A and B are shown apart, each in its own frame.
Chain A
Amino acid sequence: MNREIHTELKELAPGFPQGIPEASLGVPQDYFRDFSERLMSRIQAETLENETISPILQELKGEQPFHVPSGYFEGFQPRIHSGKVVHLPTYTRLKMVLKYAAAACLIGIIITFVTLNSNQKATGEAESASLQTGQEISEGAFVEYFEDWDQNEAEEDEESVEKSTNLLVDINTLTINELLSEMGENEIKYYMQYAGIDEQPALTL
């Protein structure tokens, strides 16, 4: 055995039995002497068979009808390295655009949500800040504010009463006469009885 292989084996497995020969697997006598002859006979027989079955096919065997540009195989490797621009089909491009649009929408929604949230927070903070500053307002200022407020309220009440009175006047003067003139005397009596207004003097307008 080769010394290098022997040393390697000893290092790898010290218990490995040294120098075991290969088992003598049986080979028929003269097998190697006759093999090439048997092989060539078989090859010739197969070739003959093919020629007999179809001489044309046998003649065509090995012929390549397809044309390959000269120097194609030599230039193949560099072309791979230099890369090739591949134009994407329209559908693929549209798909990509939609993908980016969807991503932009999502980002927009997130930004809006964050902005609204921070505004609410800011308003809340401002309110709490104003409440806190309210504690520092003097008592006199409060009294003044409420006096003003009472005055405003009273003015508003007067205004609304005036408006409602005007409305009543308008109704009386403009429409009641017309409405009464359209009603018969019996109807008026019946209404007065129903309303519990008996023997009342006639309305004078």
Chain B
Amino acid sequence: MLHGHDDNELVRLFKSGEKKEEAFTTIVKRYQEKIYWQIRRMVVSHDDADDVMQNVFIKAWNGLDGFREDAKLFTWLFRIATNESLTFLEQQKKRSSVSLDTVHEQLEEKLRAEKDFDENKTVWKLQMAILQLPEKQRQVFQLRYFEEMPYEEMSQLLETSVGALKASYHHAVKKIEEYILNH
């Protein structure tokens, strides 16, 4: 394994064709958990998250030759993951010919189907509250609250200004607080 190599070295090895698979496997192992949770929080169910994550890394395998090394590898993977998750939710909406509200209801159902789900516990109330948020606010809240990501890093990741991110986080926190206090 090439664990000692940084991202740029791994990308170079991949592009050169030398140890291509080994370099890619190292990249996957390095970022799979972060990418997985980003996807899982958006699509809720594990099976859906697994499908989306495989698509993300297959796209990365096909596109890594064109990856420009002045960008951060994780940022690139994160964007692919976000786009794939949104595409997945959009496809679900089209497939079932339902509104986005109904997709949220479906996500709630998936959350209720979780093994340890208990709607009286604050930890699950928080998850339910997060599902009520618009996509963008959901992302910002999860990255800030769970990942503890600085706004500057988030700004690069989501291509949004720090001010707009702070505003999104503020709205999200207020909505979640209200939901938890009323349920």
- Residues of A in contact with B (beta carbons under 8 Å apart): 1-2, 5, 9, 12-13, 15-17, 20-28, 31-32, 35-36, 38-40, 42-43, 46, 62
Contact = CB atoms under 8 A, between A and B. Distances in A.
A27 B46 contact: yes
Contacts of A17: 122, 126, 180
B115 interface: yes
29 contacts: A1-B148, A5-B148, A9-B173, A12-B169, A12-B170, A12-B174, A13-B173, A13-B176, A16-B180, A20-B126, A23-B114, A23-B127, A25-B40, A25-B114, A31-B46, A32-B32, A32-B33, A35-B28, A35-B53, A36-B28, A38-B54, A39-B58, A40-B21, A42-B54, A42-B58, A43-B58, A43-B61, A46-B58, A62-B65
Q: Which of A5, A46, A62 has the most CB of B within 10 A?
A: A5
A26 B122 contact: no
A110 B180 CA distance: 71
Contacts of B122: 17, 20
Interface of B: 21, 24-25, 28-29, 32-33, 36, 40, 44, 46, 50, 53-54, 57-58, 61, 65, 114-116, 122-124, 126-127, 144-146, 148, 169-170, 173-174, 176-177, 180-181
Contacts of A12: 169-170, 173-174
Contacts of B54: 38-39, 42
Contacts of A39: 28, 54, 57-58
B46 to A, nearest CB: 6
B70 to A, nearest CB: 13
B173 A21 contact: no
A42 B127 CA distance: 33
Nearest to A39: B57
Contacts of B29: 36
Given A12-B170, A22-B146, 19 more contacts: A2-B148, A5-B144, A5-B145, A9-B173, A12-B169, A13-B173, A13-B176, A13-B177, A16-B177, A23-B116, A25-B44, A25-B46, A26-B115, A28-B46, A32-B36, A35-B28, A36-B25, A40-B21, A42-B58
